[in-house]
Amino acid sequence: MKMKIPLLYTSILYICAFVLFLEWLYPVNIIGDVNNLTVFILFTMFCFFISMIQIQWYISMPLKGFGLLFIINSLFLIHPLFSRLWFDQVFMEISFNINVLFSQQWYELTPLFRSVLFLLLIWLMSYLLHYWFIVMKRIFLFVLLTIIYITVLDTFTVYEADAAIVRTFIVSFVALGMTNFFKEIDREAIRFSWVKKSSIWVVPLITIVLFSTLIGYAAPKFDPQWPDPVPFLKSTAENAGSSDTGSGISKVGYGNNDSRLGGSFVQDYTPVFQAAAKDDHYWRVETKDVYTGKGWEKSQDSQYELQQNNAISLETFSDSVETEKFTTTLDFQGNNNMEKLIYPYGISSVETSQDVELMLDSQFGEIRTELEGNSLRLNNYAITYDRPSFAIDELRKVSDEDPASLNERFTQLPDSLPDRVGELAAEVTAEDDNRYDKARSIESYFSSNGFTYQISDVPVPSENEDYVDQFLFDSKVGYCDNYSTSMVVMLRSLDIPARWVKGFTSGEVIEQGDSQESYDIYEVTNANAHSWVEVYFPDKGWVPFEPTQGFSNMAEFHFNPDSSEEKNNDEEYVAPETESEQQQLPEENETKTPTSTSNTINFNVNWWYVLIGSAVILLISFIIYRTRFRWKTVYLHMKIKNKGDAKTYQEAYHHLLKVLAYNGFSKNADQTLREYSKRIDSLYGTTTMRQLTNHYERILYKNELENQEAANLRQLWKNLIKRVMA
């Protein structure tokens, strides 16, 4: 079979493309929030297999489309396939995501929609890589991009790419060697046909690549000549990241002085602490209540009260809020400069290895640890907390009657605040009739409308400028302090009590638990220092909101089961695994839709169905592939019979050449069509091939075919194909 070996060559090359593309998928499971990467890998295998066997597009597209539909239906759609409720659910998903796209609320796209986009990308890449690797044989660019992608992830994320870079090296050089070898043969017009037909030449190529890899692995290596670009050099300044003047460039980190906000800073990934926890959440430290027009201050000095029996009496939300009890352990790294306790929402008690006094300032949420009247910095402690989940339908129904003392304190604004700030807040919330929706409208306002997250070239307001006014109307660039302060001020301009909160984001998962009962290990660095917003709701307490572009709210929200309110426009957020003060996209920022209320994308898949379905699809694909020439013959026979023009006959003649080649009688490169037709006729003892070839050449130059002649040619063509395929 003369076409078997070229097919083997293209298959090996395409398998190399598949392996390289997998290197793009593997890190997603580590740096993203996707819990079941296996589903996408199976779909990738299916798409690449369909492309490798080179099924016609009108067959391959329905097959890949069916595979995509099968996955989406298994993961997200709860009703029977193609039922009325199934179509209703699909229509609601489409409508919701179209509205999100038009409103440019990219982070609110549902998991179903994002999964469809991801699967479509895999589908497209299976075609593009087939074109680059097999048709054009130009693979260097993809190889280069793969190496850059892996090295960047290895440098800037928790992904360990040691084995990946070796795999990429081996596969890339094998693929490059094969493509360049055949390019040289074609360029030099080498006529040693056995070279193209035999795979023996692959042996020295693979041997050289493996030998080079072995030498590179075993050879002694120099120590790094350049310092690691990721961790910033550790500063000797105690409160790194804070700035008394508010000007110049600082290093990010938790600081105490917030009276002068603004200015650029540089990243610092020095670890602050590691936490063992079962969930990701913000780490709270303190709040501030007085906005000066330049930054934040406290309305009074801190007043601490001793907490008895390690129990913490801090209440940020009421007893009517649903909670779930958790524990977490914090272990500080290096020199611990934190004089304040770092804690999650709902803290109820603290356990320490030392006999210390816990001092709480309930006005600002500060918790200090002291020993005999002196501050003591703890290296580790355990916290028990009740994580809240806020009912959206209840938040919408709260009254606007706030306690007088609280209202006065948390709606404070300086007299110098420009009127246009309040006018903008009123415009953004014009269509909202309750406090929750107003807060959500302002929170989402910053995700578009020309705002950009950046840490460099961030202006500092001049003496006559207001910090929030400058950000909202002039610069529109900044980081968390700009976004959180602006939201608090806008809410206060609407007489909604709000306060500014400081702490840390959840950090990166550096070690995942082996089971649901085990704990994940999070590493929190100076780069995770963050600020956000809390809004007061009567009878519910303080509810956190996250306006910073690129960050997602880690607080849990839900609808009560008996609630009949519309849920389309309310979201639950899942924070990205890597939180830092830089522009980033929350990778699985799930939204509350009519069809999904979970916080994370947990794919509950029956793997037997997946395996059986995959096996059936592969079997059907194999059968179609093995019988593709018979299906094409039937199709062309009907087409010639119904149409019978010159173009159709040319297509039928080319199909005949492919059938002959598939059955071991391919045309040699140095043969003319007439010489080839004589050879075929001598094999079958007919003159049919010569007649078909003569008519083909006439049609090729004249581009015309008589009806009577077409009927005769159709019969000759059909008879010859039957003999060849018998």
Summarize pLDDT for 120-163 with one digit per residue, the tens: 999 999 888 888 888 777 888 899 999 999 988 887 777 888 88
- CA atoms within 13 A of residue 479's CA, in its CB half-sphere: 28
What is the reported pLDDT for 679?
86
Quickly state the pLDDT bin for 480 (edges 50, 70, 90). very high
Cα separation, 305 vs 149, whole angstroms = 53
512 vs 444, more confident: 444
Cα separation, 389 vs 333, whole angstroms = 31
Residue 653 in contact with residue 696, Cβ under 8 Å? yes
Cα separation, 479 vs 238, whole angstroms = 22
Both tokens of 581, joined, read: 């003060």
> Can you tell me whether residue 135 is helix, strand or coil?
helix
Q: In Å, how far are 14, 250, 300, 341, 480 from 346, measured between CA atoms?
A: 54, 32, 24, 14, 23
Quickly state the pLDDT bin for 336 (edges 50, 70, 90). low
What is the reported pLDDT for 212?
78
Confidence check: pLDDT of 544 > 70: yes
Q: Name the amino acid, one letter, at 668.
A: N
β-strand 498-504 against 305-306: which pairing, if any? unpaired
- 593 DSSP β-pair partners: 596
For the stretch 674-712, pLDDT in tens is 888 888 888 888 888 888 888 887 777 766 666 667 777
For the stretch 310-327, pLDDT in tens is 899 999 999 999 999 999
What is the radius of gyration, based on Cα positions, of the chain? 34
Cα separation, 533 vs 289, whole angstroms = 11
> Which segment, 229-238, 389-398, 508-517, 663-672, is predicted with the most confidence on average?
389-398
- DSSP letter, residue 231: S
Cα separation, 357 vs 373, whole angstroms = 9
Angle subtended at Cα 398 by Cα 395 and Cα 403, rounded to the nearest 5 degrees = 120
Residue 351's CB is within 10 A of a number of other CB atoms, namely 12
The residues, ordered by sequence, that sit 6+ positions from 564 with a Cβ below 8 Å of its Cβ are: none
> Can you tell me whether residue 370 is helix, strand or coil?
strand
Both tokens of 66, joined, read: 């069916």
Angle subtended at Cα 95 by Cα 554 and Cα 57, rounded to the nearest 5 degrees = 105
What is the reported pLDDT for 249?
52
Q: Which of 193-197, 224-228, 460-464 has the lowest mean pLDDT?
A: 193-197
What is the reported pLDDT for 186?
60
What is the reported pLDDT for 578?
37
Confidence check: pLDDT of 443 > 90: yes
Quickly state the pLDDT bin for 513 (edges 50, 70, 90). confident
Quickly state the pLDDT bin for 411 (edges 50, 70, 90). very high
What is the reported pLDDT for 623?
79
Cα separation, 601 vs 33, whole angstroms = 8
Confidence check: pLDDT of 592 > 80: no
For the stretch 549-575, pLDDT in tens is 888 888 888 888 765 554 454 444 443
Confidence check: pLDDT of 70 > 70: yes
Confidence check: pLDDT of 723 > 90: no
For the stretch 364-378, pLDDT in tens is 999 998 887 788 888
Give the residue-averaged pLDDT of 625-654.
80
Confidence check: pLDDT of 417 > 90: yes
Q: Which residue has the tokens 């295998």?
A: 45
Quickly state the pLDDT bin for 596 (edges 50, 70, 90). very low
Confidence check: pLDDT of 586 > 60: no
Residue 542 in contact with residue 499, Cβ under 8 Å? yes
Q: Of 478, 492, 467, 484, which Cα lies nearest the Cα of 416?
A: 467
Q: Of 120, 115, 6, 20, which Cα lies nearest the Cα of 61?
A: 120
